[in-house]
Amino acid sequence: MEILFVRIDPVQEIAAEPATLDTLRDILRPKAVEPRASEEFLAMARGCGWPLVYDEKIPPGYVHCRPTPGAPPPLTDAQIADYLRALMPKEQPGA
């Protein structure tokens, strides 16, 4: 089965239809031999502690990485730019 990830920042929940999520759980389950995923990916995925949620509305083979329901929406590009601008040092007069 090919699994496609659909990411919406910030990721706080992973949802997929039952068969796809079961396949993902199997991929992420620690095994003596890891034939399907890189060690780096497995270590990252196991360390996140994201809730895994069955969602029968998602097509087979797709995994949605999404905010927890009720979480605030992600920042817009303009909000991120304003935030980063505020972190930049102000230009000193006469410099």
Q: What is the mean pLDDT of residues 87-91?
A: 77
Mean pLDDT of the chain: 77
pLDDT digits (tens, 9 = 90+) for 52-76: 888 999 999 998 888 766 777 777 8
- pLDDT value of position 48: 67
- pLDDT value of position 81: 86
Q: Which residues on adjacent β-strands are paired with residue 4?
A: 62
Residues in the chain: 95
- pLDDT value of position 47: 65
Q: Highest mean pLDDT: which of 14-23, 41-50, 80-89?
A: 14-23
Three-state SS string over 35-84 comes to CCCCHHHHHHHHHHCCCEEECCCCCCCEEEEECCCCCCCCCCHHHHHHHH
Query: Where do the structural domains in the chain lie, given as residue ranges?
Result: 4-87
How large is the greatest C-alpha to C-alpha distance in the chain, in angstroms? 65
